[in-house]
Structure 1
């Protein structure tokens, strides 16, 4: 088994503020000197590569590994997709000191659940290792710490305490 950096999952339904919270956490942890990696689950299988571009032509021709690099960034397309543990290991090998995972609800890493409506609490029944809730409204005791979406600094401090 490989060693991994600290990992926190951010889970919840669409439009609950996951991206906004993750953006805050990235800035917070980067400012504290950690190199942050982020892995996002695309549950809709959107096509990221553009039709007609060379990289797409290479993939359409059957290349299972295609990379593109510019002076400031690079992207890697790989088929079939890798498992979350392998993605985490690769990100760690690339220098990530902390990894934020958006989605992958069935994975077992420490999670924060974002809820925008009371009905979203039902998601707790299917989650493992949920450590806290980030809510858009005041919430009665759920047996887990509850944080307001409007106080991301408290969420960041709690997330850091999980490492």
Structure 2
């Protein structure tokens, strides 16, 4: 069996900067030799992966439960059902991910960095579990947790690299 990856959730309210943070963090971690997988939670929306009219879209519209497409450089599989986070993490582990960064899934129990953009976002700190740090625009948080300025991506990346081995990994 493949060694389980370490998991870090990036949580925050809508438009708090989660995706921007991840897109800056990923290349730094990959350059450091960590193979990164990413899972995005689409809370309440019905995302559309395919483009209407394309072959894979037409297969799904025809009722296929699973549709895969592959090329010389990438592969995608679309399932017509939701999946548990643990299943998605295992799939990324099977594909070689050493670290899985999860955007969202606030109620899951993995280690989390909370993004706080506005003062009212601090409510999040009382809702989520397993917080290991805060990333934001103001360091006025009295949580006893490491704080990182949103623009200090290098320190966030160092924090992640240093702690990869101590975070909860899937069993």
Q: What is the TM-score when the length of structure 1 is the normalising length?
A: 0.92
CA contact (8 A) 1:139 1:146 kept: no
- Paired with 2:6 and 2:47, the residues of 1 have a C-alpha distance of 28
- Paired with 2:4 and 2:73, the residues of 1 have a C-alpha distance of 26
Q: Matched residue of 1:141: which SS?
A: coil
What are the equivalent positions in structure 2 for 1:108-119 lying under 5 Å apart?
108-119=109-120
Aligned to 2:6: 6
Aligned to 1:91: 92
Higher relative contact order (CA 8 A, sep 6+): 2
Could you list the structure 1 runs, at least 4 aligned residues long, displaced by more than 3 angstroms after superposition: none
How far the C-alpha of 1:3 sits from its partner, in A, is 4.8
Residues 1:33 and 2:59 aligned together: no
Q: Matched residue of 1:162: which SS?
A: helix
Aligned to 1:67: 68
Q: Matched residue of 1:59: which SS?
A: helix
Q: Matched residue of 2:138: which SS?
A: coil
How far the C-alpha of 1:30 sits from its partner, in A, is 0.7
Alignment size in residue pairs: 163
List runs of 5+ in structure 2 lacking aligned partners. Answer: 165-171
C-alpha distance 64-154 of structure 1, shift in aligned 2 (>3 A): same
List runs of 5+ in structure 1 lacking aligned partners. Answer: none
Residues 1:152 and 2:141 aligned together: no
Aligned CA RMSD, in angstroms, stands at 1.7
C-alpha distance 140-54 of structure 1, shift in aligned 2 (>3 A): closer
Q: What is the TM-score when the length of structure 2 is the normalising length?
A: 0.88
Q: Matched residue of 1:134: which SS?
A: strand
What whole-Å deviation, never above 9, does each CA across 1:60-116 have from its counterpart, x for those lacking one?
A: 221111011122222110121211100000100001111111111111110000011
